[in-house]
């Protein structure tokens, strides 16, 4: 028999979709409503983009997604159950099995591993006991690496709440594991220890009240939008082009060129998306900006919409970022209430509004075309390019998309002017960059330095290696980046400097490992991450990430597959195929860190593991 939703599940879904308007939509069949009218499913199908929010509603209310709850969502949105199942089962934050109403997600990713995640998980398992399966879940990086080890606490129910906490101990979580609250450790803030004087992108962080539009305005907020309106869309694009600002999301594409291409598309409507999915292990800079200076992102996205002719913006924020979501939601509401969003923004004669979307735990959803699929209510699988988003993006329309850090740079570009901005940093990497320092570093946190600053200087700002230990290696650019040895500390932190040194800055990860760290354990965790996060759409990545991890394990454990030499060659061949033949950046970079660990750190050489 077809499973039926409980009244609680129906209520949760109705809060997102509104009450059902007919029997067709899952409501009561009444002669008044449907006696003479044929309700087709077209209107419902046009709401498909609400599938992800509706699934979030079910997960949040009861702690898992039952067949009955899913059937109700399918009926309301006219989505085939197999498709909805395909979507729900993709995301790590959704459970399709019954689960306790309170769940602890503990990060076992790299920065947390070197800060005691494994012993913490063992102790938590013992504290929880065997009677509560599903109450403790391992998770990849939660984007709180500066406060490792980190955890996300989820409580389902009418007052569903998610909370991220750092520097976790069993004692802090003990009450929560048994149905009570939790104890938080005092935070020294997520900004590193650098002097405030040099800060540009972070200048309001820790200074402004992130919940107050008034305070934001008192600190220069909305001056940039006013200036943008005076310049007009073409003037804004000219300034952004003059600034030579390159995207900070990983691909380093010129932002002004992208905006110009979207603005020139004759097809309407245009959309603008802010990529706030930040799931690259070791990355947390966007989270800090969103939590501490959320109005800046709302203002910057509004400027992007104005310049590119988009009337609707989507802000897609990582599902594991509850505080950032709350801050952004509040900022959007306040901005709308005071005429900074909506019709005739700031009296400037244009309309723009922002919809906030929560991801649900999928690294690949950060890839731009996968993000469009996610917003549209499909599985977040990357699309083939071309066509590119500037012509065929969200809902098949011209779309601009930028990373959080890229967007807030635009405020600075308008503040000082494009040419003045271009005079900072290096000629090919203008402006400042945010870096996420974590691992075995004295003062972890987000640091802002001019592009071109040597890595050595950045590490000095953060106090160097913790507790006077020896540095063994640095992971630059995240899991999709690569390792360097202490001999490479003079690399300039610019796009061209990194390229010349054969590394990438990626999303600004700088993770330090001292001599006590087992680097092979880190490499294996990275390989497992890519195996887990591959969307499985194309063969080189789906099979390659599995085979890469298997070969590494055999090489470490001494398992049988011909010979050691055979496995080393196999590892190289897999890397080459993934890089050359994968559809998207995930597969193309899934072997980068592994290869650099083998080639630069010699982790697989006899005696290389320590």
Ligand X SMILES: Cc1cc2nc3c(=O)[nH]c(=O)nc-3n(C[C@H](O)[C@H](O)[C@H](O)COP(=O)(O)O)c2cc1C
The residues binding ligand SF4 (CB under 6 A) are: 364, 382, 534-538, 541-542, 582-584, 586-587
* Interactions with ligand FES, residue window 305-334 (CB under 6 A): none
- What residue 47 binds from ligand FES, ligand X, ligand SF4, none (CB within 5 to 8 A, per partner kind)? none
Cα-based distances in Å from 184 to 104, 164, 167, 295, 558: 14, 10, 9, 26, 43
β-sheet bridge partners, residue 399: 271
Do residues 150 and 137 touch, judged by C-beta distance below 8 A? no
| Residue 503, token pair as written in the block | 């590394």
Contact present, 510 and 437 (Cβ < 8 Å) = yes
Rounded-to-integer distance, Cα 133 and Cα 128, Å: 9
Min separation Cβ 130 and ligand FES, Å = 26
Helix 322-337 and helix 294-308: axis angle, to 10°? Answer: 60
Q: Which residue has the tokens 């694009």?
A: 237
Does 260 contact ligand X by CB under 6 A? no
Q: Which is nearer to ligand FES, 74 or 142 (CB)?
A: 142
Among 401, 413, 440, 459, binds ligand X (CB under 6 A): 401
Binding pattern for the stretch 232-251 against ligand X, x by CB under 6 A and - elsewhere: ---------------xxxxx
Q: Is 253 in the site for ligand X (CB under 6 A)?
A: yes
Closest CA to 274 of 238, 240, 234, 308: 308
| Partner from ligand SF4, ligand FES, ligand X, none binding residue 484, C-beta < 5-8 Å depending on class | none
Name the one residue in this structure whose structure tokens are 């691909």.
Answer: 251
Stretch in the footprint of ligand X (CB under 6 A) among 61-69, 274-282, 287-295, 557-565? 274-282
Continuous H helices in 51-188:
51-62, 67-77, 81-88, 110-113, 117-128, 170-177
CB 127 within 8 A of CB 177: yes
**Cβ count near 386 (within 10 Å):** 9
Pick from ligand X, ligand FES, ligand SF4, none: which does 279 bind, CB < 5 to 8 A by kind? ligand X
What does the radius of gyration of the chain's CA atoms come to, in whole angstroms?
24
Q: Which is nearer to ligand SF4, 156 or 584 (CB)?
A: 584
> Which of ligand SF4, ligand X, ligand FES, none does residue 150 bind (CB under 5 to 8 Å by kind)?
ligand FES
Q: Taking Cα atoms as reference points, which of 299, 266, 259, 301 lies closest to residue 399?
A: 259
116 binds, among ligand SF4, ligand FES, ligand X, none (CB under 5 to 8 A by kind): none
Residue 309 interacting entry, from ligand FES, ligand SF4, ligand X, none, C-beta within 5 to 8 Å by type: none
Residue with smaller CB distance to ligand X, 250 or 305: 250
Query: Nearer to ligand X by C-beta: 17 or 273?
Result: 273
Is the bond preceding residue 82 a cis peptide, omega within 30 degrees?
Answer: no
Task: Round to whole Å and give the CA distance between 498 and 503.
Answer: 5
Spatial CB neighbours of 565, under 8 Å, sequence gap ≥ 6: none
Name which of 206 and 536 has its Cβ closer to ligand SF4. Answer: 536
Cβ closer to ligand SF4: 92 or 538?
Answer: 538
Q: How far is CA 306 from CA 227, 270, 358, 403, 417, in A?
A: 12, 10, 24, 17, 18
CB atoms near residue 44 (< 10 Å):
23
Compute how many other C-beta atoms are within 10 angstroms of the C-beta atom of residue 305.
Answer: 26
Per partner kind, with CB cut-offs from 5 to 8 A, the member of ligand X, ligand FES, ligand SF4, none near residue 281 is ligand FES
Say if residues 463 and 441 touch (Cβ distance below 8 Å).
yes
Q: Tell which positions 277-296 bind ligand FES, by CB under 6 A.
A: 281
* CA-based nearest residue to 169, from 154, 155, 182: 182
Nearer to ligand FES by Cβ, of 109 and 277: the residue is 109
Provide the token pair at 400: 């601009």
**Closest Cα to residue 44, out of 59, 65, 15, 22?**
22
User: Which 403-422 positions form the footprint of ligand X (CB under 6 A)?
Assistant: 403, 406
What are the tokens at 444?
A: 């972890």
Least distance CB 246 / ligand X (angstroms): 8
- Residue 300 interacts with which of ligand FES, ligand X, ligand SF4, none, CB < 5 to 8 Å by class: none
Pick one of ligand FES, ligand SF4, ligand X, none as the site partner of residue 406 (Cβ within 5 to 8 A by kind).
ligand X
Residue 532: phi, psi to the nearest 5? Answer: -70, -40
Number of residues that bind ligand X (CB under 6 A): 22
Half-sphere exposure of 44 (CA within 13 A, CB side): 21
* Site map (CB under 6 A) of ligand X, residues 352-391, x = contact: ------------x-xxx-----------------------
| The binder of ligand FES chosen from 73, 110, 584, 604 (CB under 6 A) | 110
**Residue 279 binds ligand X (CB under 6 A):** yes
Report the residue from 93, 142, 307, 491 that binds ligand FES according to the rule CB under 6 A: 142
What is the per-residue binding string for ligand FES in 527-566, x denoting contact by CB under 6 A? Answer: ----------------------------------------
Asked whether 116 and 108 are in contact (CB, 8 A), the reply is no
Comparing CB distances to ligand X, the nearer of 283 and 334 is: 283
CB closer to ligand FES, 176 vs 529 = 529
Q: Closest CB to ligand SF4 among 239 and 277?
A: 277
What does 293 interact with, of ligand FES, ligand SF4, ligand X, none (CB < 5 to 8 A by kind)?
A: none
> Of these partners, ligand FES, ligand X, ligand SF4, none, which one is at the site of residue 142 (CB under 5 to 8 Å by kind)?
ligand FES
- Which residues in this chain contact ligand X in the complex, by CB under 6 A? 247-251, 253, 275, 277-280, 364, 366-368, 401-403, 406, 584-586
- Which residues in this chain contact ligand FES in the complex, by CB under 6 A? 107, 109-112, 141-145, 148, 150, 281
């Amino acid at each position: 028999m077809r499973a039926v939703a409980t009244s609680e599940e129906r209520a949760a879904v109705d809060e997102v979709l509104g009450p059902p308007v007919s029997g067709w939509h899952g409501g009561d069949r009444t002669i008044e409503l449907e006696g003479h009218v044929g309700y087709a499913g077209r209107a419902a199908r046009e709401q498909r983009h609400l599938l992800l929010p509706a699934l979030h509603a079910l997960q949040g209310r009861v702690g898992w997604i039952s067949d009955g709850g899913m059937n109700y969502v399918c009926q309301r949105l006219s989505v085939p159950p197999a498709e909805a199942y395909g979507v729900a089962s993709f995301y790590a934050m959704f459970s399709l099995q019954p689960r306790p109403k309170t769940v602890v997600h503990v990060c076992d990713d790299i920065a947390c591993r070197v800060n005691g995640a494994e012993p913490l998980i063992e102790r938590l398992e013992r504290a929880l006991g065997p009677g509560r399966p599903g109450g403790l879940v391992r998770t990849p990086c939660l984007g709180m690496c500066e406060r490792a080890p980190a955890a996300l606490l989820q409580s389902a129910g009418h007052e569903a709440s998610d909370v991220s906490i750092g520097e976790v101990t069993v004692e802090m979580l003990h009450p929560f594991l048994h149905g009570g609250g939790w104890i938080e450790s005092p935070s020294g803030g997520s900004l590193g220890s650098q002097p405030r004087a040099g800060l540009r992108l972070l200048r309001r962080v820790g200074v402004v009240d992130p919940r107050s539009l008034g305070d934001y305005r008192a600190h220069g907020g909305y001056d940039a939008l006013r200036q943008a309106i005076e310049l007009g869309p073409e003037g804004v694009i000219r300034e952004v082009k003059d600034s030579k600002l390159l995207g900070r999301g990983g691909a380093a594409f010129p932002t002004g060129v992208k905006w110009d291409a979207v603005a020139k598309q004759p097809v309407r409507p245009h959309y603008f998306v802010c990529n706030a999915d930040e799931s690259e292990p070791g990355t947390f800079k966007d989270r800090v900006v969103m939590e501490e200076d959320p109005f800046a992102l709302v203002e910057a996205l509004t400027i992007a919409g104005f310049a590119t002719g988009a009337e609707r913006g989507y802000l897609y924020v990582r599902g594991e970022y509850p505080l950032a979501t709350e801050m952004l939601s509040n900022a959007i509401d306040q901005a709308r209430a005071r005429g900074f969003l909506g019709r005739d923004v700031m009296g400037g004669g244009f309309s723009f509004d922002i919809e906030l979307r929560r991801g649900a735990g999928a690294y690949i959803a950060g890839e731009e075309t996968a993000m469009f699929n996610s917003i549209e209510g499909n599985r977040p699988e990357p699309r083939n390019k071309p066509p590119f988003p500037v012509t065929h993006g969200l809902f098949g329309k011209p779309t601009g998309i930028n990373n959080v850090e890229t967007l807030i740079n635009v405020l600075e570009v308008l503040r000082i002017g494009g040419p003045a901005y271009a005079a900072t940093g290096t000629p090919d990497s203008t402006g400042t960059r945010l870096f996420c320092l974590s691992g075995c570093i004295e003062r972890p946190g987000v640091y802002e330095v001019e592009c071109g600053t040597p890595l050595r200087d950045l590490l000095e700002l953060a106090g160097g290696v913790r507790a006077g230990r020896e540095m063994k290696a640095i992971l630059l650019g995240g899991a999709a980046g690569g390792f360097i040895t202490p001999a490479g500390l003079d690399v300039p932190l610019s796009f061209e400097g990194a390229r010349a040194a054969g590394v990438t800055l990626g999303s600004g990860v700088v993770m330090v490992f001292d001599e006590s760290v087992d680097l092979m354990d880190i490499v294996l965790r990275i390989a497992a991450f890519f195996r887990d996060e591959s969307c499985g759409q194309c063969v080189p990545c789906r099979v390659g990430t599995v085979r890469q991890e298997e070969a590494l394990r055999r090489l470490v454990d001494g398992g049988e597959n011909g010979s050691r030499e055979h496995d080393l060659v196999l590892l190289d061949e897999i890397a080459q195929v993934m890089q050359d033949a994968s559809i998207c950046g995930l597969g193309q970079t899934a072997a980068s860190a592994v290869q650099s660990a083998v080639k630069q750190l010699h982790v697989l050489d006899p005696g290389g593991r320590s």
